[in-house]
Amino acid sequence: MSAALASLLLASGAAAPVGTPPPETGFRSFPAAGVVLPADKIFVPSRLNSPAPLVVVLHGCEQDADAIAASARWNDLAEKEGFLVLYPNQQWGRNPYNCWNWFLPVNQTAVAGEPAEIAAAVTAAKLLYPVDPDRVYVAGLSAGAATAAALLSCYPDVFAAGGIHSGVSYGLAATPADALDVMKNGPGSRKTQGLCDPGSYKGSVFVIHGSSDPVIAPSNADRVAADFSGARVRELIVPGLGHAWSGGAPGLPASDPNGPDATGLMWSFFSAAKRR
C-alpha cells in the first residue's frame, strides 16, 4: 500500500455505509484495485457476521500472505466462525527474505513505515466491510510477530488483542545486526528504543513460542510478556516446537502439525477480548 493511500485512509474515520451490498466471498486480493505488488489478501466467509470481527495475520520471513494462510489455516476457522481475515503482504524488494523490517526505526513509529501501511489497510477494510471496530485483532509469526508487537505498541486503540508467535518484542533493535543479536541471544537487558510504548497497550496479548526454536531464542517470549504486562497476557512455551506455526498444516515450511493448535487457541483468546 502506498504512503499516500495510507495517509488518506488513516485520516478517514468512516465505516462501511449502511445498506452496502454483501461483499464477494472467498480469498482474494485486497483492495481489488491495489496498485502495489504483491497485493494484500482478504478472506471473506460465506456467512459473514455483521458487524464482523477482523483478524489481521502477518506472515514471517520467506513467506507471503498465501503461505501463512495455507499453514496457519485461519481461513478454515473464519469460514466456520464468520469473521474476516486480512493478510498484509510485504512489498517486493524491501527485504531480501521478504521479512517485515521490524528492526528499522522507521517501522517503530505510528506516523510512517510498514506499521502505518498495515494500519491503513485495516482502515480500508473497515470502509469496505462491516467490521466491528471493537473486535479487530492482529496475529503474526516471526518477523510478522515482531511487527504485530509494533502495531500493538503504536496503535494501542485499534487492536483488541494480539497474538505474538515466535517473535521479538517491540523496539529492541535498530539495525539488522541488532536484530540478529536479539534473535540469536535473546533480549537480555536491552531497553526499548522505539518511539511507541508497549506499556500503553491495555488490551490482550497471547504469546506462544517453541522451546526448541533455533531462529528466535525462546527468552524473547518472556520479554514480550513483560513488556505488555499492563495488558491481559497469556504465555505458552510449547515443548519441542521449533520455528514454526504450532498446529499448522503438514508438509509446509514453518508449519508444525504436531503442536497445539495456535490458530484455535488465539481465536478463543481473541473472542473474549473487545477494545477498551
**Roughly what angle, to the nearest 10 degrees, separates helices 143-154 and 113-128?**
80
Report how far apart, in Å, the C-alpha atoms of 60 and of each of 32, 95, 144, 159 are. 23, 12, 5, 20
* Separation of alpha carbons 209 and 238, rounded Å: 6
User: Nearest CA to 216 among 264, 182, 177?
Assistant: 182
Place of cell 517501522: 107
Q: Which helix (H) or strand (E) holds 153?
A: helix 143-154
Q: Which residues are catalytic?
A: 142
Q: Enumerate the β-bridge partners of residue 54.
A: 84, 136
DSSP state of 247: T
Report how far apart, in Å, the C-alpha atoms of 56 and of each of 93, 108, 162, 181, 250 are. 22, 18, 9, 28, 22
Q: Which residue type occupies 235?
A: E
116, three cell numbers: 502505518
* Separation of alpha carbons 87 and 60, rounded Å: 12
